Amino acid sequence: MTTRSESDDDVVPGEAVGGVGVAIVAARGVVMARSALRVADQVAGRFPDRCVLSGAETIHAVRMTATQWAGPRWLLGVPGFARALGLLPRRRHHTVALPVSDRVWRMWRCRNLVGLTALTAGVTFSGIGLVTEVVGLVVFGVVVFTAAMAYRTRAHHNYWVTCRFRPAEATIVVEPTHARFDEAARDLFVRPLDKTS
């Protein structure tokens, strides 16, 4: 397992990035990266034509929220954390469209559904236990809820992407990303420079 120690302020398009999920993918011979997207491109509806995780060509995209955050990436996978973070004062956020292939989307939806179903079950058991005053049921619900939070956070970290908004640079940092997505993102990133030269 590899970990990241560098600051987000040092992110440049094409930079390699570590992490549990990246280590898993890297073991399969695929190098993952950390990509930067311009907010101006997102607003204009321009984004790479490659799936963010598989690198396959795709015309499908999902909308996510990029939140201003410099802390550990895995925290953004905790259910509700990124949304709550975006509501805090002085925390800016921006909507981002990311291309995702059907296969990758189906796999993520399945993992996400398992995690959210278990979270709901934990809350339900605890609620029933509180109403019926059965302490064992409350404890069981808390254990299920805690395990579901851990599963969902780990699944998000290992099999999905996080987006961080950097308002000072008007960029969105996406990680981990497939090398082919990163190459397409770099092409978009330098396109304005090519037009001025």
Mean pLDDT within 21-49: 72
The pLDDT of residue 137 is: 94
pLDDT > 90 in the chain, percent: 21
pTM of the model: 0.70
Residue 14 has pLDDT above 70, yes or no: no
pLDDT at 7 over 70: no
- Mean pLDDT over all residues of the chain? 79
8 has pLDDT over 50? no
Least confident piece of the model among 26-35, 90-99, 169-178: 26-35
Q: Tens of pLDDT along 109-131? A: 899 899 999 999 999 999 999 99
Residue 197 binned pLDDT confidence (cut-offs 50, 70, 90): very low
Interval 152-170: pLDDT, tens: 888 887 888 888 999 888 9
**In this structure, how many other beta carbons lie within 10 angstroms of the beta carbon of residue 188?**
20
